[in-house]
Amino acid sequence: MRTVNTRTLNSINTKLIAAGLVGTIFGATLTAGVARADLLGSVLKGAGIGVLVKQFQRPLNDGINKLTGSAGPGRDEATKVVPIVSIGQGGYVGAVQVSGPQAQVSRVQAVGQAEGSVVGDRFRLKALIPIDTEKPQNLQSIRRVKGVGVSAIVDVRI
């Protein structure tokens, strides 16, 4: 029968506990890092959409006008591409073309997207509302630009 030194046993136990703690901490850090990277990716995509819309606003608008056969709208009518923002969250979720009287279209800074449902959850609703800000706080605080409608939706591949 072999005898084991208690000091050696304590040293081994301490090393095993330390290794377990390091593994647990590393695993939690890795998981938190992946979650943060996913959140960061979502934020960067949202911000990226806003930047892309601003950068390509004119060619997008011209392309939609050609596609719909409304190239060269009348003097009183205008079109413009603006970002879609999620009301209450402020994140960019896409882009749309708005159309209407020149004076009203020039006031539009974004289109707010509000969501809801009726008849329980049987019907899901998405309202696209031309607004005069890119940072709506909530549905009650938005200022709708009247006389302007959404004429096209722009999808962005990311």
For the segment 25-35, the average pLDDT, to the nearest whole number, is: 45
Q: What does pTM read for this prediction?
A: 0.65
Q: Which residues share a beta bridge with 77?
A: 101
Range of the domain at 137: 1-158
CA distance 109 to 97: 11
Over the stretch 35-88, which tens digit does the pLDDT of each residue have?
444 433 444 444 566 778 888 899 999 999 999 887 555 567 899 999 998 876
- At 54 the pLDDT is 85
Tokens of 58: 């004119």
Percent of the chain past pLDDT 90, that is, above it, reads 32
Long-range (24+ apart) CB contacts under 8 A made by 92-95 are: 92/46, 92/47, 92/49, 92/50, 92/53, 93/46, 93/49, 94/49, 94/153, 94/154, 94/155, 94/156, 95/49, 95/53, 95/60, 95/153, 95/154, 95/156
- At 30 the pLDDT is 41
Sheet order of strands, 110-118 included: 123-131, 110-118, 77-86, 92-101, 149-154
Band (pLDDT 50/70/90 cuts) for residue 129 is: very high
Task: Find the range with the poorest average confidence among 8-22, 40-54, 59-73, 97-111.
Answer: 8-22
Band (pLDDT 50/70/90 cuts) for residue 91 is: low
Where is pLDDT greater, at 155 or 35? 155
Q: Which residues share a beta bridge with 84?
A: 94, 111
Question: What SS3 state is found at 4?
Answer: coil
Our count of domains for the chain comes to 1
Instruction: Say if residues 133 and 142 touch (Cβ distance below 8 Å).
Output: yes
Helices 57-68 + 6-55 axis angle, to 10: 60
- At 153 the pLDDT is 93
- At 29 the pLDDT is 42
